[in-house]
Structure 1
Amino acid sequence: MPTKNINTEHYRMMAGLLDFPEEWIKERAKEAQVFLDAQYPDIGDEFRPFAEMCSHTSLDDIQELYTRTFEVQAVTTLDLGYLLFGDDYKRAELLVNLNREHATLGNDCGHELADHLPNVVRLIALLDDGELRLELLKKVVVPGLKKMIGDFGPETLKKKNEVYVKHHKTLIEMKEHEGTIYQVPLMALLSILVRDFGLGAEEKEEGAGFLASLSTEMKIED
């Protein structure tokens, strides 16, 4: 399985697309489209709807889409450890280990936690230890990405919205295609990682997923 001599600079580019969007998002999306068209043409075709959305949508609306997708009445979460393990001690262990690696390599996590997907993807780009990088990909990043993408499925979205309506009484409305647009960069990132590192469908997924964690959290609040 390939772990050496892989150019990882494009992971920083993909990670940037999943930061909270600011003025740079339109240019980043355009640059990503050019790169993908040149290096991964099939993935570029899949990514195009996101780049076009960024090009034709106001920054305020893109920020609202991001917030609704990942933060308020969220479709999913970008915090890999929470997604995979909920509040289990395994997440605490993961955060400790990731914090150590971030600090060692000088990877600034900003105001997000160590297991926030963009932070972890940037860490992947910095790691020189091929075995550690592959272990992180196989046990955390790839399973987490698969769960994030799975959270955009129609049935999962329906169940999640039912939970939100039950506990918040109201649901923030989104157009159907808008509610799933952020799965596009997630799918592109997953496809790149799988291809670059020879990972496949056999990679094990762990944890109960965001919906199960959400339901448990809501019950505790009651």
Structure 2
Amino acid sequence: NYALLAEMFNYPVNDEYKKTIQTAHEYLVNTFTEAALTLQPFAEFVSSTSVRDIQELFLRSFDVQAITTLDIGFVLFGEDYKRGKLLVHLNEEHRKAGNLCETELSDHLPNLLRLLPKVKDAEMQTEIAELLLLPAVEKMVSEFTLDKIDKKDTVYKKHQKVLLDYSQNYRTIFQNSLMALFLVMQRDFNYYGNNKSKEGNENTDPGNPASGTQNSEIKDFSQNIETEMLTEK
């Protein structure tokens, strides 16, 4: 249920966010114990914390002097032109799937998570997961280091006279939500780092002319992404 998991990374506007996190945790309890245990500290934090305080930690994790960003293209490519090319490709995928991005860009994590189950072609779905989402989420998880957090908080204190002391105990709490998501996707796509889960899978049906065209489109999309990522390295 990637649409449900996507809600964890939307800005917590009101108490509905708390209900969403509880629902997501219950879903994982019933479907994937390891991910549920990983998410549990985050779920407990959200249930016992005011929306205002959750909002502050959300912003400090993903927006203002943020630890990381929820924009997958930026995580992978930074401000490089390659992100712009990726956004163009993703805009087309969202359009074809009828997935509304609303006010965020096409590479925003919740938008991509909502897109994933709407992509009808299994190979394209796998490419988006393995070449974009999983590497980016894995990198985002690794950004939650104490050294980086201390540097960000030093800058934050210069602009904000009030800094919640208690929140330091939960400064990395959103890492748990990212880790839980990563575990779910790792299981679903049999993903192990840079090694692809499936060997070159050619699903072209010689009896169906359309299948060759679709397969070609998938290759174009994935090759563009892979080329940019290899160039980045």
| TM class, shorter-length | 0.7 to 0.9
Measured in 2, the distance between the counterparts of 1:67 and 1:158 equals 16
Measured in 1, the distance between the counterparts of 2:111 and 2:117 equals 10
8 A Cα contact 2:6 2:114, kept in partner: yes
Measured in 2, the distance between the counterparts of 1:201 and 1:99 equals 26
- Does residue 1:21 correspond to 2:9, yes or no? no
CA deviations 1:55-77 (Å, max 9, x no partner) are: 11111111111111111111110
Name 1:50's counterpart in structure 2: 42
1:20 aligned counterpart, secondary structure? coil
| Aligned counterpart for 2:104 among listed residues 108, 112, 115 | 112
CA deviations 1:4-54 (Å, max 9, x no partner) are: xxxxxx111100110011231111111111111111012111111111111
Amino acid at match of 2:84: A
The structure-2 alpha-carbon separation of the partners of 1:129 and 1:195, relative to structure 1 and needing over 3 Å to count, comes to same
1:29 aligned counterpart, secondary structure? helix
8 A Cα contact 1:36 1:43, kept in partner: yes
| Mapping for residues 1-222 of structure 1, pairs under 5 Å | 10-23=1-14, 24-161=16-153, 164=155, 169-170=158-159, 173=163, 175-203=167-195, 206=229
The structure-2 alpha-carbon separation of the partners of 1:68 and 1:188, relative to structure 1 and needing over 3 Å to count, comes to same
Amino acid at match of 1:51: A
8 A Cα contact 1:79 1:117, kept in partner: yes
Measured in 1, the distance between the counterparts of 2:39 and 2:117 equals 21
Aligned residues: 197
User: TM-score, normalized by length of structure 1?
Assistant: 0.81
Instruction: Please say which structure displays the higher CA radius of gyration.
Output: 2
8 A Cα contact 2:106 2:112, kept in partner: yes
8 A Cα contact 2:130 2:189, kept in partner: no
Amino acid at match of 1:199: Y
Measured in 1, the distance between the counterparts of 2:152 and 2:130 equals 27
RMSD, aligned CA? 2.5
Unaligned runs of 5+ in 2: 197-225
8 A Cα contact 1:138 1:203, kept in partner: no
Which of the pair has the greater relative contact order for Cα pairs under 8 Å at 6+ separation? 1
Measured in 2, the distance between the counterparts of 1:159 and 1:73 equals 9
Measured in 2, the distance between the counterparts of 1:169 and 1:177 equals 20
8 A Cα contact 1:142 1:203, kept in partner: no
Unaligned runs of 5+ in 1: 1-9, 210-222
